[in-house]
Amino acid sequence: MKKLKCGVLGATGMVGQRFITLLDSHPWFDVTAVAASPRSAGKKYSEAVSGRWFSKKDIPANVKDLIVSDVAEVNAIKGKVDFVFSAIEASKEEIRAFEDKYAENDIPVVSNNSAHRWTKDVPMIIPEINPHHTDMIEIQKKNHGWNKGFVVVKPNCSLQSYLPAIAPLLKFNPIEMIITTMQAISGAGKTFETYPDILDNVIPFIGGEEEKSEKEPLKILGKIENGEFVDCDSIKISAHCNRVPASDGHMAAVSIKFENKPTRGEILEIWKSYKPEPQQLGLPSAPDPFIIYNEEENRPQTKLDRDAGKGMAITVGRLRECHVFDYRFAALSHNTVRGAAGGAILVAELLYKKGYFEK
Ligand code: NAP
């Protein structure tokens, strides 16, 4: 398989750095360009991240001497990459304009940003759940008159712990869910050093997160009709999103009601045997198994289980009857791997395997 050249926009930030470390020695992709704000532009990557390199691993040798370009200057990257990952921190308008500019210049964009999640013709993909939403790419290209470029996004990290566990149960018609998330501080770009107020504390508010957690699943579980996404309208979600003193890992406590209640054994068997498209295709970042059910009564635990499947698997536990709804369970995912850079890399692997970077 020919290796593709990729760029990282926002490469100096927390998520950008995670892209750089996860892409080190990737079997299909080589990082050949890095871009950030004008503050970093013109510097060697190692200088631009000096004093804020978060990883315990060294900066990969093929990246440390790359000269950082300004995200706004598409021409600096054009010709050096086959596609880019986007992890920019800017206003939504600015991010949309940057990402569209790359697509217009024949550079496909796989974005970690929320800016385009509700754009009518932009697919929001969790490869294990809605890989078929890539069908929208040709429609998007036609809408804009783009040739090779397009924009695909991944969803918010808060829902990636519980939606993967619910998606294989759709045949039982889940209708109502109450989700309580317990989200790590890295999701706010923080560490315990930079966020001492979180120690010995829980904060029952994360701006905009409950809306994302309630609405994004409906697009992901929706369908394409007449060239547009139509949201799933049979499921109601009520979310409570909390910031908790964990460094990495988002936990969710879920109560769920079905139209056709399955048995506990049926649910466990479905989770155990679940082998969606990325696992069948053998995508390099696809964990196998995708869903790990832990029988111990006090699992999953954030610290013990977040790195399952190299941070890409979902760990589920405590499936039990609910006196108000049908069942309750807990689910956990790694927010900066599965929920951010790793999830986007898996999307790119899916696109590559399906030939979208060549079309
Ligand atoms: P960050 O650490 O603040 O990094 C932001 C990156 O964007 C840096 O490379 C920065 O370059 C660049 N940037 C800032 N202003 C810019 C501008 N005007 N033009 C071009 N580039 C600019 O942010 P982050 O935590 O990595 O988050 C990046 C994006 O991912 C955000 O949209 C965030 O909401 C989203 N996200 C984050 C997480 C997470 O766990 N942290 C999870 C999911 C999604 P300089 O270094 O030169 O300033």
Instruction: Kindly state if the Cβ of 186 falls inside 6 Å of ligand 1.
Output: yes
State the pLDDT confidence band at 358, using cuts at 50, 70 and 90. confident
Q: Is 359 contained in some domain?
A: no
Instruction: Kindly state if the Cβ of 90 falls inside 6 Å of ligand 1.
Output: yes
Comparing CA positions, the residue from 220, 211, 209 lying closest to residue 153 is: 220
**Do 167 and 38 share a domain, yes or no?**
no
**Do 264 and 149 share a domain, yes or no?**
no
Q: Where are the alpha helices (DSSP H) in 107-220?
A: 136-144, 163-166, 209-220
Q: Report d(CA 210, CA 20) in Å as an integer.
A: 29
Instruction: Kindly state if the Cβ of 157 falls inside 6 Å of ligand 1.
Output: yes
Question: 39, 43, 88: which to mutate for ligand 1, most atoms within 8 A of CB?
Answer: 88
**Span from the CA of 128 to the centroid of ligand 1 (angstroms):** 26
Instruction: Kindly state if the Cβ of 249 falls inside 6 Å of ligand 1.
Output: no
**Do 131 and 201 share a domain, yes or no?**
no
Question: Which residue matches tokens 């390099």?
Answer: 284
**Span from the CA of 88 to the centroid of ligand 1 (angstroms):** 4
Question: Which residue matches tokens 């790119």?
Answer: 348
Q: Is 250 contained in some domain?
A: yes
Can you give the CATH number for the domain in which 262 is found?
Answer: 3.30.360.10
Q: Is 358 contained in some domain?
A: no
**Do 286 and 148 share a domain, yes or no?**
no
* Residue 58, both tokens: 């060294």
E strand or H helix at 314? strand 314-321
**Do 147 and 23 share a domain, yes or no?**
yes
Query: How far is residue 142 from each of residues 35, 87, 124, 136, measured CA to CA in Å?
Result: 28, 25, 18, 10
- Mean pLDDT in the chain? 97
Q: Report d(CA 170, CA 274) in Å as an integer.
A: 13
Domain span including residue 10:
4-156+341-353
pLDDT in tens, 288-306: 999 999 999 999 999 999 9
State the pLDDT confidence band at 359, using cuts at 50, 70 and 90. low
Q: Which atom of ligand 1 is nearest to the CA of 187?
A: 40
The answer, yes or no, to whether residue 1 has pLDDT greater than 80, is: no
Q: Average of pLDDT values for 119-132?
A: 97
Question: Which residue matches tokens 């704000």?
Answer: 37
Instruction: Kindly state if the Cβ of 213 falls inside 6 Å of ligand 1.
Output: no
Instruction: Kindly state if the Cβ of 15 falls inside 6 Å of ligand 1.
Output: yes
For residue 310, the tally of other CB atoms under 10 A from its CB is 13
pLDDT in tens, 190-249: 999 999 999 999 999 999 999 999 999 999 999 999 999 999 999 999 999 999 999 999
The answer, yes or no, to whether residue 55 has pLDDT greater than 90, is: no
pLDDT of residue 331: 98
Instruction: Kindly state if the Cβ of 71 falls inside 6 Å of ligand 1.
Output: yes
**Do 139 and 168 share a domain, yes or no?**
no
Residue nearest to atom 46 of ligand 1 (CA): 12
Q: Is 238 contained in some domain?
A: yes
**Do 121 and 178 share a domain, yes or no?**
no
Q: Is 103 contained in some domain?
A: yes
**Span from the CA of 153 to the centroid of ligand 1 (angstroms):** 15
pLDDT of residue 54: 87
**Do 137 and 83 share a domain, yes or no?**
yes
- DSSP 8-state class, residue 263: P
pLDDT of residue 76: 94
**Do 152 and 163 share a domain, yes or no?**
no
Residue nearest to atom 17 of ligand 1 (CA): 37
List residues bridging with 250 in a β-sheet.
333
**Do 299 and 204 share a domain, yes or no?**
yes
**Span from the CA of 49 to the centroid of ligand 1 (angstroms):** 13
Can you give the CATH number for the domain in which 28 is found?
Answer: 3.40.50.720
Q: Is 126 contained in some domain?
A: yes
Q: Is 99 contained in some domain?
A: yes
**Span from the CA of 112 to the centroid of ligand 1 (angstroms):** 10
**Span from the CA of 13 to the centroid of ligand 1 (angstroms):** 5
**Do 52 and 102 share a domain, yes or no?**
yes
Question: 15, 45, 157: which to mutate for ligand 1, most atoms within 8 A of CB?
Answer: 15
* Residue 53, both tokens: 């390199």
**Beta 250-258 vs 236-243: how paired, if at all?**
unpaired
pLDDT of residue 189: 87
Q: Is 15 contained in some domain?
A: yes
Q: Which atom of ligand 1 is nearest to the CA of 15?
A: 26
The answer to whether 83 and 15 have CB atoms below 8 angstroms apart is no
Instruction: Kindly state if the Cβ of 247 falls inside 6 Å of ligand 1.
Output: no
Instruction: Kindly state if the Cβ of 9 falls inside 6 Å of ligand 1.
Output: no
**Span from the CA of 184 to the centroid of ligand 1 (angstroms):** 17
Catalytically annotated residues:
157, 250
Instruction: Give the number of domains in the chain.
Output: 2
**Do 138 and 17 share a domain, yes or no?**
yes
pLDDT of residue 67: 98
